[in-house]
Structure 1
Amino acid sequence: MREAEDFIQDVHAHHRAALLWRVRQWTAGDAQLAEDVVQETLMRAWTRRGSLTCVAEELRPWLYTVARNLVIDAHRRRAVRPYESLGDGDEEPVAACHAEAVADRVAVVSAMRRLSVAHRRVVEQVYLWGRPIGEVAVELGVPAGTVKSRLHYAMRTMRRELQGRA
């Protein structure tokens, strides 16, 4: 049990401040969310202490990756359930934000419809499904560079399309 306490004290002493600073950047200064993310990250480190090392060059990237994933999860949760992230009486601004988000989605779908099938497929696979470029290249039977090029030109076209809407 003493080893577990030593591990978490070491992690806390050597990494917490840097981790909190980075997480505050990722959460746009949301101090409460940053604290929660850091606490959960340290808890996960503690539960995996047997497979982790205290060497800073190895542990800190692991801590940052876990924290970054927790921040992304928190943002996704808020996007799915915006009413739960606000207190009583704040429903009207959320409704306006929701309407704006729906309008944005409609604009993005409209812009995607204007892309060629090849470009649209690459955007869907990489951005919507989160697939790596290499996998998409294999599936489409084209080089990875072609996938990257299609992605670049598709995003440039969509950006122009969406800027014209604003």
Structure 2
Amino acid sequence: MSIREFNEDNPFIEKLQDIKTGTRTAICSRGNIVSMVDDDTGEVKGRGFNAVIREKQYDSERFVKMYAAGRKVLPNLSVAATRILWYIVDHMGYDDMITLNITKIKKETGYKSNAAIYRAISELKNHCVLANAYQNGIYYINPAMFYRGNRLKLLI
């Protein structure tokens, strides 16, 4: 593909054929409460509800959402803070917290000194990307910037 070439269709769509997908059952609509009755005896065996259930396909490849606030903070970060942020994004779970192990960070990022990592973490805290949690090494991630999963679950 040439950088001067024009495309009628998105040339990257072909690569999506290899996406790993999964399926899950989803209740699309829930109806009235009904009784389950034994046809032979007329005995009520239980209660339930009418529902329309279908299987939904989803993209099973790992991803993290970056919101506008996260994009806006990126140009203001140093190289070190950006590198630590990408480490965090790569290791995020489905919640708003992360445990940072300095030894693992050094191994993956190539940093030699703890001080450089702690300075980068402080910078991320100053830019409201991270906040201290209840214990050393555990941080809250700002879900208005980056989140893996449905951040609305944090409000429930």
TM-score normalised over the length of structure 1: 0.30
**Whose Rg is larger?**
2
